[in-house]
Amino acid sequence: MSRPWNFAAGPSTLPLEVLQQAAAEMCDWNGSGTSVMEMSHRGKHYSRIRDEAEADLRTLLAVPDDFEVLFMQGGASAQNAIVPMNLIGRAGLGRADYVLSGHWAGKSFKEAARYGDIAVAATAESETVIGGHRFGPWCWLPDPAEWRVRRDAAYLHLCANETIGGVEQAVMPDMAALGAPDVPLVADMSSNILTRPIDFSGLGMVYAGAQKNAGPAGVTLTFVRKDLMGHALPHCPSVFDYANVAGAQSMFNTPPTYAIYVAGLVFKWLLRQGGVAAMD
Q: How far apart are CA 222 and CA 26, in angstroms?
A: 27
Contacts of 162 (CB under 8 A, 6+ apart): 101, 102, 103, 104, 105, 138, 168
At position 201, the amino acid (one-letter code) is S
Q: Radius of gyration of the chain from Cα atoms? A: 19
Packed helices 257-273 and 16-24: angle between N→C axes, nearest 10 degrees = 130
User: Catalytic one among 56, 97, 147, 212?
Assistant: 212
- Nearest CA-CA partner of 217 in 78, 64, 97, 31: 78
At position 232, the amino acid (one-letter code) is A
Q: How far apart are CA 74 and CA 245, in angstroms?
A: 14
At position 115, the amino acid (one-letter code) is Y
| Catalytic site includes residue 182 | no
128-130 and 133-135 as β-strands: parallel, antiparallel, unpaired?
Answer: antiparallel
User: Catalytic one among 104, 138, 140, 147?
Assistant: 104
| Catalytic site includes residue 269 | no
**3 state DSSP class of 159:** strand
| Catalytic site includes residue 212 | yes
Which ranges in the chain belong to alpha helices (H)?
Answer: 16-24, 44-61, 75-87, 103-112, 242-247, 257-273, 275-279
Please say whether the beta carbons of 131 and 161 come within 8 A. Answer: no
**3 state DSSP class of 209:** strand
User: Catalytic one among 29, 140, 147, 188?
Assistant: 188
- What is the set of active-site residues? 104, 188, 212
